[in-house]
Amino acid sequence: MMEVSVLNKNGVDTGKKVTLNEAIFAIEPNDHAVYLDVKQYLANQRQGTAKTKERSELSGSTRKLGRQKGGGGARRGDINSPLLVGGARVFGPKPRDYGFKLNKKVKQLARKSALTYKAQENAIVVVEDFTFDAPKTKDFISFVENLKVADKKVLLLMPEVDKNVYLSARNLKKSKVMAARLLNTYSVMDAAVLVFTEGALSQVNEVLTK
């Protein structure tokens, strides 16, 4: 059993403890599932709008530039030839969707594997559910300093993203706030420390034990 102390937003131990579900945070990690899920996430971020013109799409003249034989060089067609400067491109990129299908069970295994790695690294912090009175970046800086994770890349997971907390962290390069239901393998692996609120932890338990 893995028990973690619950802190308040000032970094003070509340005396409460939560148990991390072993079916999520203590499995046999599957590196290939993690690789596939991260690959799919990054593939889905690609725009896929790169495009070059092929020979039939150029508007240059179709006049044959040189005679068929006797010029001393290779046969050459019109000005749109891919061999000439300003000509077409052979087999260039076309708009496409880079996404690919991944089974739900593989994605779930990947998320559990990523969370297991964080648990093994003692990189999981649990805090009481909290909010800020107003969006202030310095309040979020104080929050991560109190948790002693200010120098690390932090992913804060909440049951629902609190607007004030989100706006307070938005300008900080090393901090990211996310709703627990949107948890993905890439974000977990990208962060050095995961900070769960109590509500987010129970939500993750619910989603990943279905």
What is residue 54's DSSP assignment?
Answer: -
Rounded Cα gap, residues 111 and 25, in angstroms:
10
pLDDT (tens digit, 9 = 90+) per residue, 11-28? 888 888 999 999 999 999
pLDDT of residue 1: 63
Task: Look at the chain and count its residues.
Answer: 210
Per-range mean pLDDT, top range of 25-34, 52-61, 68-77? 25-34
pLDDT of residue 162: 87
- Helix 104-120 to helix 31-45 angle (10° resolution) is 110
Element (H, E) at 14: strand 13-20
pLDDT category of residue 77 using cuts at 50, 70 and 90 = confident
Q: Is 178 helix (H, G, I), strand (E, B) or coil?
A: strand
pLDDT at 210 over 80: no
Which of 151 and 35 is assigned the larger pLDDT? 35
Q: Per the confidence metrics, is the pTM higher than 0.95? A: no
Bridge partners of residue 179, in order along the sequence: 158
Half-sphere exposure of 133 (CA within 13 A, CB side): 0
pLDDT (tens digit, 9 = 90+) per residue, 98-129? 999 999 999 999 999 999 999 999 999 999 99
Rounded Cα gap, residues 175 and 168, in angstroms:
10
What is residue 80's DSSP assignment?
Answer: T
pLDDT at 68 over 70: yes
Q: Locate the domains of the chain by residue range.
A: 2-46+99-208, 52-92
pLDDT (tens digit, 9 = 90+) per residue, 150-201? 899 999 999 998 899 999 999 999 999 999 999 999 999 999 999 999 999 9
> Which class would CATH give 2-46+99-208?
alpha beta
Tokens read off for 186: 């890439």
